[in-house]
Homo-oligomer: A and B are copies of this chain.
Amino acid sequence: MRAGIDLVRAEGSAALSLREIARRAGVSHGAPRRHFPTHLQLLSTIARAGFADLAARVATALADAPADPRARVVLLAGVYARFATEERGMFELMFRHDLLESGHLGLRGTSMPLFGLLVDLVAEAKPADAPPEVTAGALWAGLHGVVQLWNWGSLPLATGLPGPEPLLEAVITAHMGGVR
């Protein structure tokens, strides 16, 4: 499993074959089967570790941050975007549809605590607006979409910007208002 995490960070999500992971771990190709009944389950477990890592990064970033909810969302977005570029292979793995769909293993639920945090921040910032789940959902989708479309080059090509930061700012401002 640790071998899988190292591998996805070093070689990207496309290199994560079951046999290559076993090779890196120094065991035979049948060994992982004792612990993970199928390849997808192994990948799901690795992806879950990725979600845990992301949540930990967000937590440490928000630990000693100002209390203003908008500032905290900006921080969160920065961590999200940095994670997606620095841990690109892991990010790709985490949001592979075939993992999330065929799962039923609750991989989806792994991102819910982070979403709950976002809901709280939105509710704190705009208590009397639309339901905070809706605003937070749209906000999350905006951040995710920017990161994803930016990461594979569609948004850089479309906007000509040097970095995704203006887009993240635009998303946050659109959903949470401007600086106060």
Contact = CB atoms under 8 A, between A and B. Distances in A.
Contacts of A161: 133-134, 137
A2 to B, nearest CB: 25
A171 B159 contact: no
Interface range for A: 35 or more
A109 B145 contact: no
A63 interface: no
Contacts of A115: 158
Number of copies of this chain that the complex holds? 2
Interface string A102-141: 0000001101100100000000000000100111111011
Name, among A151, A152, A157, A160, the residue most crowded by chain B CB atoms within 10 Å (CB to CB).
A152
Nearest 8 pairs of A and B residues by beta carbon? A145-B145, A141-B145, A174-B174, A142-B142, A138-B170, A141-B146, A144-B145, A137-B159
Given A138-B142, A138-B167, 13 more contacts: A97-B152, A100-B154, A108-B154, A109-B157, A112-B157, A134-B170, A136-B158, A137-B146, A138-B146, A140-B149, A141-B149, A143-B145, A170-B175
